[in-house]
Amino acid sequence: MTSLEQARAQYLAHLGVERGLSDHTLAAYTRDLTRYCEFLAGRGRDDMASVTESDVVAFAEAIRTGSDGGTVLAPSSAARTVTAVRGWHRFALAEGVTASDPSAAVKPPPTSRRLPKAVPVEQVEALLEAASVGEGAVPLRDRALLEVLYGTGARISEAVGLSVDDLDLDGEVAAVRLFGKGRKERVVPVGRYAVDALQAYLVRGRPELARAGRGNAAVFLNTRGNPLSRQSAWAVLQTAAGRAGLTEHLSPHTLRHSFATHLLAGGADVRVVQELLGHASVTTTQIYTQVTVQTMREVYAAAHPRARA
């Protein structure tokens, strides 16, 4: 293992152990920094101290154009890669491995800020109803899973990561404990529909699925009694969408977007929504306000007698 590879391994270990990044994020950072190491090796750099600002700038250009022989990255992926590189150099400086940070002046490429995709309440209701079609444990699980995703705004990794101890369904205000990015914990209230779906699944569905396994604390189990994977949860949504006749592309994140958009449209304060979503900054949440403002404009244009041109 070269000096660069050793430094990369130390940084990734820091991200996993001390920063608590998810396996999914760590895998992405590993790919990004592996490509960076290969790029630096091609320029004759064999340790972190020998890297210059021009190296970092050249790499940022390479991932945008593919001039290093690698895949041309989309702006969002290129921005993540540059962020990973900058984080590694900051870590090396903080640990005393280098005397300066050659990436400090290199900014991630700008990305277009697309409005989140949300679906109307009626379509969400149709999706949820379609998830519970059939008999047995699986429809009960699928309905509970989608109710949790839409009812709490949870990320898919947070939902499948729920353990039975994370549920408080009998308190004065039912709630679930979610662990977001960096294992940051938050407690989110759960509405009546999600509570009913969870209780039906926990009483009549989960015990049946659990019998196939060796004992597991995860809330959502597959037919082998093991924790449901992100990919399987995605398939649950796709199956329900097909049954409901929803032709637009839906993802678990669509339900998270819909959760936030519907809350704001109903008058929720943006800072409350920020806490519910687990966003570190309210700026991230404010993108949803653009959705509701657009809806407001459309309603005004259609309904106000003096709005017509």
How long a stretch of residues is the chain?
309
Dist CA 269 CA 190 (whole Å): 18
- Give the dihedral sign, CA 284/127/165/12: negative
Active site residue 11: no
Neighbours of 233 (CB within 10 A): 22
Active site residue 253: yes
Active site residue 279: yes
The single residue of 86, 256, 257, 262 carrying the catalytic annotation is 256
Q: Look up residue 304 and give its two tokens.
A: 């106000």
Contact 149, 252 (CB under 8 A): yes
- CA-nearest of 107, 110, 108, 106 to 51 is 106
Active site residue 184: no
Q: What is the CA radius of gyration of the chain?
A: 23
The single residue of 35, 155, 206, 257 carrying the catalytic annotation is 155
Grouping H, G, I as helix, E, B as strand and the rest as coil, residue 176 is strand
The single residue of 183, 253, 271, 297 carrying the catalytic annotation is 253
- Give the dihedral sign, CA 12/5/91/103: negative
Active site residue 256: yes
Where in the sequence numbering do the catalytic residues fall? 155, 181, 253, 256, 279, 288
